[in-house]
Amino acid sequence: MAITRIGNIASTIPDDSIQNVKFSNIVNFKNIIINGDMSIAQRGTSASNVSTGYDTVDRFKIIRGAGTLNVSQETDAPSGQGFAKSFKVLDASGSSPGASDSNRIQQIFEGQNLQYLKKGTSSAESLTLSFWIKAKVTGTYIVELFDADNARCISKTYTVSSSETWEKKTITYDGDTSGTLGNDNGGSLECTFWFTAGSNYTSGTLQTSWGSQVNANRAVGLTNALASANDYVQITGVQLEAGTTASDFEFLPHDVNKRRCLRYYTQVTQNHYFAGARANGTSGIIGGRFYTSVPLRAGPTIDAGTYQYYYGDAGGAGVSSSTTALEYQSDDTGLTFRLNSALSGLVDNEPVIVGTNSTIGFDSELWLQMFIT
């Protein structure tokens, strides 16, 4: 007998059966999409009248160009498929897009995670996208892949056949033998679901094979999925993988899925204390270091919030104050900060506990140009 480890599963396999185990078919993290089951939503479960940015469900960016969009994490999901959540985009007013307007959701991927796709070589891998969708408006929808390093794209259509009914869709994209992806932590590839598009994106011929991006060719034939008030689209089970066949959705443990999201966004919630610091002199300057729970993709920017400090005054009593003033230098493990506030009673080099009385986000998300001009 031999003890064989497959991923994190240890199993006992007879020696004479080892040759029958097809290790080439065992793939961990085959899904390029992060949080494709829509289970992680650090920023909250709903947001109203959103602008372009990241709201609610982690790793999915909303691009808003028309209408009044509300986004939410929903418990409605296709029955019997293992999904518990979905991502919903609802237009409260209805969309009448101008020529340059569009409504989309997208996920952006680091180039260093995609080198195995061999893009830009004669061995470039095909990609297959599979997902579940529920929409109020039936018709032709579009998903685009965009190579941001080389301004190349490909768009494919699918059909929503039944109103307000969960349907599974599968799309295959040929491999691209032109344009290699950068081997770094920058955004190299986008996967974009189009829901509304103005004439600037629909006046040409749909780019169904890889080629240089031309705006007029990106969403030709798209049905306006958000044309009337309260039209909506929901998606879940989004999987993008190498090959020409869609495999079963790769369900990851909740903790693994969340850690993958934390690479791009880490949140400290209200009334939590997250760093130790020391007073620098007695004039109200506090310096310290905050470490994120997992390494971030890059040094973060800081979402709005106020910072709460607890320290001992000269008489030993606890004193607190708050401010939004913050100076920092960040890297992928956190940030070294200096907080300037008119605090009294500080003792030079005195320990200080730093926290927040609101919510602070440490944002290392990928932001790419929405479209070429």
Q: What is the pLDDT of residues 174-216, one digit of tens each?
A: 999 999 999 999 999 999 999 999 999 999 999 999 999 999 9
Question: Structural domain boundaries of the chain?
Answer: 29-253, 266-363
- Which residue, among 103, 102, 139, 99, has the nearest Cα to 221 in the 3D structure? 139
Intrachain domains 29-253 and 266-363 with the same fold: no
The verdict on pTM exceeding 0.75 is yes
Residue range 29-253 in CATH 2.60.120.260 = yes
Q: What is the pLDDT of residue 171?
A: 98
pLDDT at 27: 64
Q: Which residues contact 338 (CB under 8 A, 6 or more apart)?
A: 280, 285, 286, 287, 326, 327, 328
Neighbours of 161 (CB within 10 A): 10
Tell whether the model's pLDDT for residue 345 goes beyond 90: no
Q: With a cut of 80, say whether residue 247 has pLDDT above it.
A: yes
Q: Residue 196 contacts by C-beta under 8 Å, 6 or more apart in sequence?
A: 65, 66, 67, 95, 97, 101, 102, 103, 104, 222, 224, 225, 226, 227
Number of Cβ within 10 Å of residue 2's Cβ equals: 11
- The CATH architecture one would assign to domain 266-363 is Beta Barrel (2.40)
Span of 173-182, 237-246, 342-351 with lowest mean pLDDT: 342-351
Lowest-confidence segment of 81-85, 98-102, 153-157, 271-275 by average pLDDT? 271-275
Q: How confident is the model at residue 240, as a pLDDT?
A: 98
Each residue of 104-124: pLDDT tens digit? 999 999 999 999 999 999 999
For residues 152 and 14, the model is more confident at 152
Residues 219-228 have pLDDT tens digits of: 999 999 999 9
Higher per-residue pLDDT: 28 or 166: 166
Can you tell me the mean pLDDT for 53-73? 97
pLDDT (tens digit per residue) in 271-301: 777 777 777 766 667 777 888 889 999 988 8
Question: What pLDDT does 293 receive?
Answer: 86
